[in-house]
Structure 1
Amino acid sequence: MAPSSSSTSNSNLSLLLLFLLFFAAPWAKALNFTRQDFPREFVFGAGTSAYQYEGATDEDGRSPSIWDTFTHAGKMPDKSTGDTAAGGYHKYKEDVKLISDTGLEAYHFSISWSRLLPRGRGPVNPKGLEYYNSLIDELVKQGIEIHVTLYHLDFPQILEDEYHGWLSPRVIEDFTAYADVCFREFGDRVKHWTTMDEPNVLAIAAYDSGAFPPCRCSPPFGINCTAGDSTVEPYVVAHNSILAHASVVKLYREKYQATQKGFVGMNVYSFWTYPISLSSADIAATQRALDFMIGWILDPLVYGDYPEIMKKKAGSRIPSFTKEQSELIRGGTDFIGINHYTSVYINDASNGEKTDLRDYNADMSAVFRTSRNDTPSGQFVPTSIPVDPQGLQYMLEYLRDTYPGIPVYIQENGKGQFGKKDSLNDTDRVEYLSRYMGSALAALRNGANVKGYFVWSFLDEFELLAGYHSPFGLYHVDFEDPNLPRQPKLSAQWYSKFLRSEIGVNIINMISADEHEHADI
Structure 2
Amino acid sequence: MLRLVLLTSLAALVLGTDTFSRDDFPPDFVFGAASSAYQVEGAANLDGRTPSIWDTFAHAGNMHGASGDIACDGYHKYKEDVQLMKDTGLEAYRFSISWSRLIPNGRGAVNQKGLQYYNNLINELISHGIQPHVTLHHTDLPQALEDEYGGWVSQKIVKDFTAYANVCFRNFGDRVSYWTTMNEANVFVLGGYDIGFLPPQRCSPPYGDNCSTGNSSTEPYMAAHHILLAHASATRLYRKRYQDMQHGVIGLNVFSYWFVPLTNNTEDKIATQRANDFYLGWFVNPLVFGDYPQTLKKIVGSRLPSFTFAESSQVKGSFDFIGVNHYVTMYVKDNPSSVNTEDRDAVADMAVQLTSIRNDTSTFEYAIVPWGLQGILEYIKQVYGNPPVYVHENGQRTRRNSTLEDWPRVKYLHGYIGGLLDAVRNGSNTRGYFTWSFLDLFEMLDGYESSYGLYFVDLDDPDLKRQPKLSAHWYSNFLKGKNISSDGYIELQKNISAVSTNFQ
In the alignment, which of 395, 413, 417 is matched to residue 433 of structure 1? 413
The match for 2:375 is 394
The one-letter amino acid of 2:499's match is E
Identity fraction in percent: 53
The match for 1:368 is 354
Cα RMSD (Å): 1.8
In the alignment, which of 469, 472, 478 is matched to residue 498 of structure 1? 478
Residues in 1 aligned to 2:440 and 2:4: alpha-carbon distance in whole angstroms: 42
The match for 1:5 is none
Residues in 2 aligned to 1:207 and 1:353: alpha-carbon distance in whole angstroms: 19
Would you say the 8 A contact 1:55–1:86 is kept in 2?
yes
The match for 1:423 is 403
Would you say the 8 A contact 1:459–1:477 is kept in 2?
yes
Residues in 2 aligned to 1:220 and 1:477: alpha-carbon distance in whole angstroms: 39
The match for 1:59 is 46
2:172 equivalent to 1:181: no
2:435 equivalent to 1:455: yes
Q: Deviations over 1:159-194 (max 9, x none)?
A: 100001000000000000000000000000000000
Structure 2: tracts of 5 or more residues without a match = none
1:109-508, aligned counterparts within 5 Å? 109-371=95-357, 384-417=365-398, 419=399, 421-506=401-486, 507-508=488-489
The match for 2:29 is 42
Residues in 1 aligned to 2:401 and 2:16: alpha-carbon distance in whole angstroms: 24
> CA 1:208/1:135 → structure 2, altered by over 3 Å: closer, same or farther?
same
Q: CA deviation at 1:30?
A: 6.8
Residues in 2 aligned to 1:85 and 1:372: alpha-carbon distance in whole angstroms: 30
Would you say the 8 A contact 1:342–1:389 is kept in 2?
no
> CA 1:219/1:384 → structure 2, altered by over 3 Å: closer, same or farther?
farther
Would you say the 8 A contact 1:117–1:124 is kept in 2?
yes
Residues in 1 aligned to 2:107 and 2:369: alpha-carbon distance in whole angstroms: 43
Q: CA deviation at 1:14?
A: 2.3
Structure 1 residues 104-113 or 363-372, which shifts more? 363-372
Would you say the 8 A contact 2:258–2:375 is kept in 1?
yes
2:502 equivalent to 1:515: no
2:18 equivalent to 1:13: no
The one-letter amino acid of 2:502's match is D
> CA 1:303/1:28 → structure 2, altered by over 3 Å: closer, same or farther?
closer
The one-letter amino acid of 1:403's match is Y
Residues in 2 aligned to 1:64 and 1:373: alpha-carbon distance in whole angstroms: 39
> CA 1:412/1:116 → structure 2, altered by over 3 Å: closer, same or farther?
same
Residues in 2 aligned to 1:448 and 1:118: alpha-carbon distance in whole angstroms: 41
The match for 1:7 is none
The one-letter amino acid of 2:498's match is H
SS in 2 for 1:149: strand
The one-letter amino acid of 1:222's match is G
Residues in 2 aligned to 1:29 and 1:164: alpha-carbon distance in whole angstroms: 45
Residues in 2 aligned to 1:29 and 1:420: alpha-carbon distance in whole angstroms: 27
Residues in 1 aligned to 2:502 and 2:217: alpha-carbon distance in whole angstroms: 45
Residues in 2 aligned to 1:372 and 1:65: alpha-carbon distance in whole angstroms: 35
TM-score by length of 2: 0.96
Residues in 2 aligned to 1:126 and 1:35: alpha-carbon distance in whole angstroms: 40
Would you say the 8 A contact 1:460–1:474 is kept in 2?
yes
Residues in 2 aligned to 1:47 and 1:383: alpha-carbon distance in whole angstroms: 21
The one-letter amino acid of 1:178's match is Y
Would you say the 8 A contact 1:54–1:87 is kept in 2?
yes
Residues in 2 aligned to 1:30 and 1:406: alpha-carbon distance in whole angstroms: 23
Q: CA deviation at 1:503?
A: 3.4
Residues in 1 aligned to 2:502 and 2:314: alpha-carbon distance in whole angstroms: 52
SS in 2 for 1:341: coil
Q: CA deviation at 1:501?
A: 0.9
Residues in 1 aligned to 2:301 and 2:466: alpha-carbon distance in whole angstroms: 51
Q: CA deviation at 1:384?
A: 4.5
Residues in 1 aligned to 2:493 and 2:476: alpha-carbon distance in whole angstroms: 16
The one-letter amino acid of 2:231's match is H
SS in 1 for 2:417: helix
Residues in 1 aligned to 2:16 and 2:312: alpha-carbon distance in whole angstroms: 45
Q: Deviations over 1:132-172 (max 9, x none)?
A: 00000111111111100011010100110000100000000
Would you say the 8 A contact 2:15–2:419 is kept in 1?
no
Would you say the 8 A contact 1:412–1:454 is kept in 2?
yes
The one-letter amino acid of 2:470's match is L
Q: CA deviation at 1:497?
A: 1.1
Q: CA deviation at 1:434?
A: 1.1
1:42-121, aligned counterparts within 5 Å? 42-76=29-63, 78-121=64-107
Residues in 2 aligned to 1:193 and 1:485: alpha-carbon distance in whole angstroms: 30
> CA 1:63/1:398 → structure 2, altered by over 3 Å: closer, same or farther?
same
Structure 1 residues 365-374 or 319-328, which shifts more? 365-374
Would you say the 8 A contact 2:366–2:397 is kept in 1?
no
Would you say the 8 A contact 1:301–1:329 is kept in 2?
yes
Residues in 1 aligned to 2:364 and 2:29: alpha-carbon distance in whole angstroms: 29
Q: CA deviation at 1:15?
A: 5.0
The match for 1:379 is none
Structure 1: tracts of 5 or more residues without a match = 1-9, 375-381
Aligned residues: 499
